[in-house]
Structure 1
Amino acid sequence: MANLKKSRAGTDKRRRLMAAAAQVLHRQGVERTTIADIAHAADVPVGNVYYYFKTKDELVQAALAEHSRHLAELTGELDELPDPLERLKGLVGAWVGQRDVAARYGCPTGTLAVELDKRAEGGIDVEAGKTIRLLLDWVECQFRELGLPGPGDLAITLVGAYQGMSLLANALRDPEIMTREGARLTRWLDTLPGDGAAHR
């Protein structure tokens, strides 16, 4: 029983550190963030962090895993909707729902991917790309289910629009950019021709 409690406590600390890493790195960026910052946000003693994550890069990877987990949760909820068009609109709605955070800090995964790409050492930047690829693949599946031609290109258009509006909202500190562009994307989705199979 004692070992089980210890194991659960360890899992809880690791989970808190992952969540804190995702949050702090999003707000401060990789270069400005220290392991102590993440430990403080997770309410974990700094010395304990090294038991779970040996380096800051491992914490960056943990943050990316956390972003992927959040994405999986979101798309899992959207997958419960029977209509792929409504799933896509729900995705846009979720983006707009994060407009204040995006205006202050940008897209969590997008900003991290850009920052990691500019670092001298390679490898971890590829992990950020994998998280974005998960989003692209899910969006592509929705367009394919709608029977639309070029579902991969449409996915890039939609996700690219999201990255663009996040960047502009952040650069101009204007969350309403997300609101306006989100509405435009929803109207665009409604104009796309499809075979209608998913709506019958």
Structure 2
Amino acid sequence: MEAAADVVHRRGAERTTIADIAHAAEVPVGNVYYYFKTKDELVAAALSEHERHLNLLVGHLSRLPDPRERLKGLIEGWVGQRDLAVRYGCPTGTLAAELGKRDQGGLDVEAGRVVRLLLTWVEGQFRELGQPDPKGMALTLVGAYQGMSLLTNALRDPEVMEHEGARLTAWIDSLEAS
């Protein structure tokens, strides 16, 4: 599943083959076919892996005592992925955009569900900070991440991620606790 997530992120769902996954996982192609009969099953596995990574991240961040520090930790993690974003963009965001162009499969809905998990967690942090519009603020923060990830990729410039990450961190610091 890790190999599927990595290869799908780097090559895109449409260009990825089962053989690509087998090569990345260093297993025979037949082994991959045993578990995944179709490309859509591979893409679903990649989305499951994105969800697993997200759950690990928010689990780690949730151990921090303060929601402000949790949000800043999230931003720090995003900025830490800037070199990957330069080349491939956000793993879940780029996959969601690609899947959204398909006419079938329902994988676009699954990708949206994974993004919604992040939005819900971020909203909870803003709610805990006592912010008046936690849902809107979550959309702003996650949307800013998607934008900076896209621009970092389009411009092939990791400084975009660094600069925008610093702006988001300053925004979080400026919020009044209620």
Q: Which structure 2 segments of 5+ residues have no match?
A: none
Could you say what the CA RMSD is over the residues aligned between the two structures, in angstroms? 0.7
Decide whether the 8 Å contact of 2:87 with 2:153 is kept in 1. Answer: yes
Please give the TM-score of this superposition, normalised by the length of structure 1: 0.88
Q: Which structure 1 segments of 5+ residues have no match?
A: 1-17, 196-200
Mapped partners of 1:150, 1:164: distance in 2 = 21
Paired residues for 1:97-176 under 5 Å: 97-176=80-159
Mapped partners of 1:120, 1:68: distance in 2 = 23
Partner of 1:11: none
Decide whether the 8 Å contact of 2:18 with 2:33 is kept in 1. Answer: no
Aligned pairs, number: 178
What secondary structure, in the 3-state scheme, does the structure 2 residue paired with 1:88 have?
Answer: helix
Paired residues for 1:14-53 under 5 Å: 18-53=1-36
Q: Would you say 1:82 and 2:35 are equivalent positions? A: no
Identity %: 74
Mapped partners of 1:47, 1:72: distance in 2 = 30
Cα offset for 1:53? 1.0
| 1:161 alignment partner AA | A
Corresponding residue to 1:60 among 43, 48, 73: 43
Mapped partners of 1:60, 1:190: distance in 2 = 37
Q: Which has the larger radius of gyration?
A: 1
Please give the TM-score of this superposition, normalised by the length of structure 2: 0.98
